[in-house]
Amino acid sequence: MITVKYDTTPPLGHPKITLSLFHKDILKHSVSCLVDSGADCTTLPSSMSPLIYGFDVCKMPESFLKRLGAVLNESECFCGDKINSVKLPLMVGFDKFTFPININWVDNANAMPLLGREDFFDCFKIELDGLRQQVIFYPNLEHIEKQKSKFDFNKINNLIARLKIV
């Protein structure tokens, strides 16, 4: 069981967790994500992707992204705004666990980092405790292990290396 207290930065009371982002087993940086059961998948601004890959994922040619196995999307916010996005798996760390999840990189430099349902919510039972201002994560160890073999990172990393940008 992992207990994370709500964010104490104003405006108060946001359930957030820190995800560590890895590429080729190297920690690139960490990001604080809003725990958002309304988000289909974990969402990060593509302006953050050069810190991971050396290039902005959303600015890459469609043909290259398709060879990587990325899914090109148009993400829709509840307010109706639509943003181009690219879904690509990435290794993330949370507490003592490291496993890959699909990241939806959105072509908006200031998009709020969101922890969404796809992949991550399958790995934990998540309890929002507003009274105690905390989120409790109960890991599903079996699913976390299964998640580790979901994506072919060799193919992705080889293609990125061949791009000779990293």
Partner 1 sequence: MSEQDYSGKWIALRNNKVVSSAKDFTDLIKNLKPTEIPSLTFAKIPQRGTVCVM
Distance CA 135, CA 125 (A): 10
Q: How far is the CB of 112 from partner 1 (least distance, A)?
A: 5
| Nearer to partner 1 (CB atom), residue 37 or residue 158 | 37
| Nearer to partner 1 (CB atom), residue 12 or residue 131 | 12
Q: How far is the CB of 61 from partner 1 (least distance, A)?
A: 22
Distance CA 111, CA 58 (A): 13
With H, G, I as helix, E, B as strand and everything else as coil, classify residue 147: helix
Q: How far is the CB of 63 from partner 1 (least distance, A)?
A: 26
| Nearer to partner 1 (CB atom), residue 9 or residue 154 | 9
Give the DSSP per-residue string, 82-125: EEEEEEEEEEEEETTEEEEEEEEEES-TTPPPEE-STTHHHHEE
| Nearer to partner 1 (CB atom), residue 10 or residue 61 | 10
Distance CA 32, CA 15 (A): 10
Question: What sign does the dihedral 45-47-50-52 (CA atoms) show?
Answer: negative
Q: How far is the CB of 11 from partner 1 (least distance, A)?
A: 5
Q: Residues interacting with partner 1, by CB under 8 A?
A: 8-12, 14, 16, 18, 26-32, 34, 36, 38-40, 43, 45, 47-48, 51, 75-79, 81, 106, 109-114, 116
Q: How far is the CB of 152 from partner 1 (least distance, A)?
A: 25
Q: Are 114 and 39 in contact (CB under 8 A)?
A: yes
| Nearer to partner 1 (CB atom), residue 82 or residue 146 | 82
